[in-house]
């Protein structure tokens, strides 16, 4: 198994089976979201804690920005098909550094059905891009101008400028593995904790 296939296997578990494994399998994303309604996704179970809606948007935006702008140098999914309007959002950054009240406002207003659809569209695009890459491309380094472009477009918020130093000059393998896989695994763990804290047990 080569590095590309290893990534795609990991990536499939961070998205719904619809995206990564239509023939069936274990999806951490489907597991975490199982049985939840829109109001439960909007819930913040404690002061300073995220909502599941915000977390899944943050995962999707980070992957969209990271894979399309930084890895592939192409337009983001968000820029196509009127996604911002469909999501009912005004901001286009990936959420890092958002103030507490902004997290609350986002969770209360985002269109939940569109959020699921947007994240699926991002995951499908990622799999198309990475599936078309050669393993040797993973050793290439990230062009810092692509991160500057993401900053200038507002895909990286003004309080998240540290991202440039974290990824400029790093290999595509490192950036891809973090922004489109490892980052989602980390936040899916957070999502499961938030669900438990809110008393939202899995349906039997």
Instruction: Give the Cβ contact number of residue 91 at 10 Å.
Output: 16
Q: Which positions ≥6 away from 17 have C-beta within 8 Å?
A: 24, 25, 27, 30
Question: What is the distance, to the nearest Å, from the Cα of residue 180 to the centroid of all Cα atoms in its chain?
Answer: 7
Quick one: which of 17, 40, 39 has its CA closest to 27? Answer: 17
- For residue 204, pLDDT over 60 is answered with no
> What is the reported pTM?
0.94
Give yes or no for residue 1 having a pLDDT over 70. Answer: no
As a whole number of angstroms, the distance between CA 171 and CA 158 comes to 24
- Quickly tell me which residue has 């098909």 as its tokens: 81
Q: What percent of the chain has pLDDT over 90?
A: 74
- Res 164: pLDDT: 76
CA–CA separation, 66 vs 174, rounded Å? 11
CA distance 171 to 10: 18
Fold of 3-197: 1.20.120
Predicted confidence (pLDDT) at residue 203 exceeds the cutoff of 70 = no
């Amino acid at each position: 198994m080569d590095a590309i296939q290893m990534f795609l296997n990991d990536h499939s578990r961070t998205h719904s089976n619809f995206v990564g494994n239509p023939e069936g399998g274990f999806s951490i994303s489907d597991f975490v979201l199982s049985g939840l309604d829109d109001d439960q996704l909007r819930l913040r179970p404690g002061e300073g804690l995220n909502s599941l809606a915000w977390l899944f948007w943050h995962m999707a935006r980070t992957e969209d920005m990271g894979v399309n702008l930084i890895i592939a140098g192409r337009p983001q999914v968000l820029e196509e098909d009127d996604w911002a309007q469909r999501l009912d959002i005004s901001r286009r950054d990936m959420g890092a550094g958002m103030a507490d009240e902004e997290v609350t406002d986002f969770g209360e207003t985002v269109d939940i059905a569109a959020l699921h659809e947007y994240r699926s569209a991002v995951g499908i695009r990622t799999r198309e891009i990475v599936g078309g890459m050669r393993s040797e491309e993973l050793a290439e380094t990230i062009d810092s101008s692509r991160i500057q472009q993401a900053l200038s477009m507002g895909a990286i918020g003004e309080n998240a400028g540290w991202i440039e130093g974290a990824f400029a000059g790093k290999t595509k393998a490192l950036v891809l593995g973090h922004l489109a896989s490892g980052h989602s695994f980390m936040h899916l763990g957070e999502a499961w904790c938030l669900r438990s804290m809110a008393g939202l047990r899995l349906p039997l």
